[in-house]
Amino acid sequence: MRLRPLARAGLAAALVTGVTGIAAAAPPALAAPVPAAAPALLAAPDIPLANVKAHLSQFASIAAANGGNRAHGRPGYLASVNYVKAQLDAAGFTTSVRSFTYGGATGYNLIADWPGGDTSDVLMIGSHLDSVSSGAGINDNGTGSAAILETALAVARSNFQPARHLRFGWWGAEELGLRGSTNYVSTLPAAERARITGYLNFDMVGSPNPGYFVYDGDNSDGVGAGPGPAGSARIEDSLEAYFASIGVPTRGTDFDGRSDYGPFIQYGIPAGGTFTGAEGRKTAAQVQLWGGTQTAFDPCYHRACDGLSNVSDTALDRNADAIAYSVWDLAQDGGTEPPPGNVVFADDFEAARGWTAGTGDTATAGRFERGDPAATSSGVATQLGTAASGTFDLVTGASAGASAGANDVDGGSTTIVSPAITLPAAASTLTFRWYLAHLNNASSADYLRVRVVAGSSATTVFSQAGAATDRAAAWQSASVSLAAYAGQTVRLSVEAADAGTASLVEAAVDDVRVTSG
């Protein structure tokens, strides 16, 4: 990472309990669901810390054998490229090494494409692979390079086949001014560059005195360099959702152009990523938030001591899993906002827009309501204290109560139904954010469902079943075709159930949107 100003702290969000009432009325009569549910999105795998650290050990060995560094134009950098390329080639990626010249020396970018997916909708994940000349560059930026390498290998191990095309990049000469990434983006033909619809950057994700910073995609912190291109907020939301699911608070950091997202946002490509801090000093407030000491986030920044001992295993593990979470999340739903002119219906639940809570609920507690949720946990996060966007969402019992199980769904099902939505003659698509959380006393009888109600019949278009395992609350995205209902007036019915033996079940839905075209 190049020298950069200290990342600013974001605003601390106070958790406010309480809900806004919803009129209680009987929902439309629901016929038995048509047994054609859209499959739930695949969950990201856990990224083994040991594997990430094994890559770091390789980078350290390469540096030790090549003058103590992996800098641009030095043999240690090319050896690092060859190591990463060999791993990816063996895993089934299509790789290419693209050379450029800077400062009289040849530099290299390594590009790796995972076969499949829509090549007109490319999600790219990148890190710089070079070090400064004074050291091995293990935190800066072996950590980012190793974490995205292991995420790529996890893609291969699971044979992940998302809707979007996945591309990974390792950049050269970042330490000399983003030279490799700039060369890559600026020399792509315009049509090829337009195919990259999102870029995730990971530069220093294992600092020994770490902070947990997420690039501020929508400028919601209100100061600094401003937001990223349209669509960057979706990336920010995805990364923040992961950290929220493990109970780690994050703070925003600016797109100040000092890492490899710079060339991408220059061309209007949505971007985001995480960062654990460089030479800046952790404040007293940040120590209270994250622990550590009021010293530099990385005391070995750009120094010879940036070796294997200069890494926080905890920060590296959390960030590697955050990377995988966002890759799986964003690659499956496209991750971009639809054009405003195509919106048929949208509700972010920041105002009451006529959803109806069903009086036919059989649940004795944890009924669906529009509310400002309070965070609850029982070993894992069971209810998130933040909505997917804004303050409010549809949630099963918004208040925390005396314990994690006080306001979860109990004793049956709970339903909430949208106002009438008149669909155009053209095909429409329903998208929404959701989570279903439960403990290992749940079963496959528990569920979260979304149905389309047309007249007196209802069709299940999305279903996520419970299981006898701990499942942490974490926002995910779903997309459902409504082409079968073109020209009809429909309602959306959201239902959650604790339908088996007594178990702890929580669910929420946010950012419901129907678009056409």
Q: Look at residue 384 and tell me whether its pLDDT is greater than 50.
A: yes
CA pair distance 273, 263, nearest whole angstrom: 14
Q: How far is CA 474 from CA 163, 239, 242, 244, in A?
A: 21, 10, 6, 7
Q: Compute the half-sphere exposure of residue 336: CA atoms within 13 Å on the CB side of its CA.
A: 19
Among the residue ranges 194-203, 301-310, 425-434, the one predicted with the least confidence is: 425-434
Model confidence at 53, pLDDT cuts 50, 70, 90, reads very high
In angstroms, the CA 311 to CA 451 distance is: 47
Mean pLDDT of the chain: 86
State residue 28's pLDDT score.
39
- Domains annotated for the chain, with CATH where assigned, are 65-333 (3.40.630.10), 340-516 (2.60.120.200)
DSSP helix/strand/coil, 183: helix
Provide the percentage of residues in the chain whose pLDDT is more than 90.
Answer: 62
Question: Contact, 410 vs 441, CB < 8 A?
Answer: no
Both tokens of residue 465?
């079943």
β-bridge pairing 196-202 and 118-128: parallel
| Model confidence at 222: pLDDT above 80 | no
Q: Is the pLDDT of residue 306 over 60?
A: yes
Residue 296, pLDDT above cutoff 80: yes
Residue 386, classed as helix, strand or coil, is coil
Q: What is the per-residue burial (b if ≥16 Cβ within 10 Å, else e) of 67-90? A: ebbbbbbbebbbbbbebbbebbee
CA 509 – CA 438 distance, rounded (Å): 15
Instruction: Look at 16-25, 113-122, 139-148, 421-430 and tell me which has the smallest mean pLDDT.
Output: 16-25
Distance CA 7, CA 213 (A): 8
Residues 6+ positions from 141 with CB-CB distance below 8 Å = 1, 127, 128, 129, 130, 131, 174, 202, 203, 204
pLDDT > 90? residue 88: yes
Query: Could you report the per-residue pLDDT of 94-108, keeping only the tens digit for each?
Result: 999 999 999 999 999
pLDDT at 76 over 90: yes
pLDDT of residue 17 exceeding 50, the answer is: no
Global model pTM greater than 0.85: no
In the predicted model, is pLDDT for residue 4 greater than 70?
no
Average of pLDDT values for 96-122? 96
Q: Determine the average pLDDT of the residues in 382-399.
A: 88
Token output for 269: 């490509």
Tell me the pLDDT tens digit for each residue of 135-151.
Answer: 999 999 999 999 999 99
Report CA 122 to chain centroid distance, whole Å.
Answer: 16
Q: What residue type is assigned to position 16 of the chain?
A: V
Give the list of residues 6+ apart from residue 189 with CB closer than 8 angstroms, or none: none
pLDDT tens digits, one per residue of 410-445? 889 999 999 999 998 888 889 898 999 999 988 999
Active site members: 174
Q: Provide the pLDDT for residue 219.
A: 58
- Report whether pLDDT(27) > 90: no
Judged on CB neighbours under 10 Å (0-12, 13-18, 19+), 394 is buried
| Average pLDDT of the residues in 120-132 | 97
On the question of a cis peptide bond just before residue 141, with omega within 30 degrees of 0, the verdict is: yes
What would the pLDDT profile of 310-328 be if each residue is shown by its tens digit? 999 999 999 999 999 999 9
